[in-house]
Amino acid sequence: MFWSSAAFAGGAVVYPTFIEPWRVQINHIPIRVPGLPRSLDGFTIAHMTDLHRSRFVSAEYLTACVVKANALEPDLIVFTGDYLTYGRSRHGQLIYGASTDGAALVRDVAQCMGSARARYGVFASLGNHDHWFDAKLVTRTIEAAGIPVLRNAHAGIRVNGTTLPVVGLGDLWTEGVNLSRAFAGVDAPFALVLMHNPDGFEKPLQPGAQLILAGHTHGGQVKLPFIGPPIVPSQFGAKYAHGLFQKADAQMYVNRGLGLIYPPVRFNCRPEIAVLHLKCA
């Protein structure tokens, strides 16, 4: 009895700390879009978010995740923020297991992201942790690795004669969302939107923003049976913790992310690479 109890207790610590946080799950999600241009039918997007490079999350692990995404041969790869965990308390103490050199964490994660390869390119937006550290430095470093960072801005890619706008919104908690600036000049029936914090889905959306990719929540990191995630960084609780959501013509997919923050555990909430498959409805 004692040994079985000890084994159970040991497993309850070992699995969520040393096993599940690194068991990356690849989720394939069909996205049926009314009015989707035929040229985009079958287009695939690999979505990674919340990498959170820190002493808890290694560059080697993140590079392996990008290698997995590359092997899927997606048409597009996107990242939606929170690339490092770095911060100090009011008393100047490092928190969340941060490195003493945040710039080194940014260089590490940018190098990992820079190895991403997709037919039509790679794009990124920022999250709250990037702003809490240094948004300008994070932007410069990622762009130096060859990835455009969209902050209330957009870029257009040509796919089989059709322009696909990729719109990156500012982080809701820090930079703020500026839809008019982000969508200025966008004239297309379908736009892909990168939005770190899913709480923005409750606000009025721009016409044409039919697919929104978000992260931020980590799925709660811990999902208890019959209860769900007890803690989610959202004003709406667990409403947008993870999964596909619909509002009018817009759909939002919330990714559980690849990294984690303190406490560095995951339970019943594996890290995720999401692959969105666009389909004509």
pTM recorded for the entire structure = 0.93
Say if residues 99 and 55 touch (Cβ distance below 8 Å).
Answer: yes
Instruction: Give the separation between CA 74 and CA 17, rounded to whole angstroms.
Output: 31
pLDDT at 12: 65
- 8 A C-beta contact, residue 197 and residue 173: yes
Partners of residue 137 on adjacent β-strands? none
Report d(CA 205, CA 203) in Å as an integer: 6
Q: What is the predicted pLDDT for the residue at 207?
A: 87
Identify the CATH number of the domain in which residue 200 sits.
3.60.21.10
- DSSP character for 47? E
Residue 250: domain span? 2-280
Structure tokens at 259: 């990294």
What does the pLDDT read at residue 5? 40
Q: What is the dihedral of CA 143, 130, 99, 109, to 10 degrees?
A: -30
**Total structural domains within the chain:** 1
- With a cut of 50, list the residues of the chain below it in pLDDT: 1-10, 89-93
Residue 122 and residue 116 in contact, taking contact as beta carbons nearer than 8 Å? yes
Rounded to an integer, what distance in angstroms lies between the CA atom of residue 154 and that of residue 129? 21
Q: What is the pLDDT of residue 13?
A: 78
Q: Give the span between the Cα atoms of 219 and 267, in whole angstroms.
A: 10
pLDDT, one tens digit per residue, over 85-96 is 986 544 444 555
